[in-house]
Amino acid sequence: MTDQEQRLRIAVQKKGQLADKSLQLFEQAGLKITRGANDLLYRAENFPADFLRVRDDDIPQFVASGACALGIVGENVLQEDWPEIEAGAVDVSRPLGFGHCTLKIAVPNEMDYVSPADLNGVSIATSYPVLLKNYLAQNGVSAGVVEMSGAVEVAPRLKVADVVCDLVSTGQTLAANGLRAVETVMKSEAVLIRHTGRKTLYPEDLLARLLRRVDGVLATRETKYIMMNAPESALDDIIEILPGAGAPTVTPLAGKPGQVAIHAVCQESVFWETLERLKAAGSSAILVLPIEKMML
């Protein structure tokens, strides 16, 4: 391999919802990314990785072709492009927990709607014809699909289509155009995808190192470190309350017979209700701390 081949190439969205969060993920994994004059390619200074910044629609093909080892893309975009991807060329490696959105069918407020059967015979405007056609087929609906590249929500007002199928976050855009969401076609989030077509294209040791770091970042998002004091007699009840904790560390408290200190890593969200339950079980001096880094 040449020196260039030894560097991992990672495809990320150039602009849009996932652009900044994708780079932030790798920066949290310890990569120092130089945002230079070259707007297409960013380079990591302390890790052999380059970031190719492209349109989100192009990311699945960049990874499938082997031009990039990894990519971050919305699951909705990946599934829309899936029929065009070479079999076995792309693997969905990890869901990333950001970039959440929902692909929904929305109808005009004045339209009577009860079930998907009411879509028979209508025309539906969308930027996701593959996902929409799959949904219609699964529900036995015969409807026309009008493919649009943007501004889908104005289609009924302009008489381009009767209803729409579009990404929805808050629903404000639909409401502003006299539409209401009635069916969910797909719930989506950002996913990390990797090239699997030609396994010798990129060094597996570099991929493994980077993916371990990414796993560590993802693990710390909801993970908290909890410390508390408690009566030894309440230990079993407290361990049962701790969310997603493995075996905690338990040590006697100096000068306080029957009292112990409990330290635990909780891999689920810790809510105020959890703290109240721990307090009711006999815990005191409860501390919940964020975890900056974790190697699994």
Task: Spell out the alpha helix ranges (H) of the chain.
Answer: 19-28, 59-65, 75-81, 129-138, 172-176, 204-222, 235-241, 272-280
Which CATH number does the domain housing residue 69 bear? 3.40.190.10
Specify the pLDDT at position 226: 93
Domain span at residue 163 reads 101-188
Residues 61 and 121 in one domain: no
Residue 27: Cβ within 10 Å count: 13
Specify the pLDDT at position 200: 57
Note whether residue 296 is domain-resident.
no
Residues 74 and 205 in one domain: yes
Task: Look at residues 220, 241, 267 and tell me which one is the last residue of a structural domain.
Answer: 220
Encode pLDDT of 133-144 as tens digits: 999 999 999 999
Among residues 207, 216, 190, which one has the least CA distance to residue 23?
Answer: 190
What is the mean predicted confidence (pLDDT) over 168-191? Answer: 92
Residues 230 and 211 in one domain: no
Specify the pLDDT at position 276: 94
Note whether residue 1 is domain-resident.
no
Among residues 95, 115, 82, 267, which one has the least CA distance to residue 192?
Answer: 95
Encode pLDDT of 262-282 as tens digits: 999 887 778 889 899 999 999
Residues 73 and 194 in one domain: yes
pLDDT confidence of 292, banded at 50, 70, 90?
Answer: confident
pLDDT confidence of 103, banded at 50, 70, 90?
Answer: very high
Q: Provide the mean pLDDT of the chain.
A: 90
Residues 15 and 89 in one domain: yes
- pTM listed for this prediction: 0.81
Long-range contacts of 22-25 (CB under 8 A, 24+ apart): 22/72, 22/190, 23/51, 25/72, 25/96, 25/214, 25/217
Which CATH number does the domain housing residue 275 bear? 3.30.70.120
248 or 246: which leads in pLDDT: 248
Residues 180 and 62 in one domain: no
Residues 88 and 119 in one domain: no
Specify the number of domains making up the chain. 3
Specify the pLDDT at position 293: 77
Task: Look at residues 138, 171, 188 and tell me which one is the last residue of a structural domain.
Answer: 188
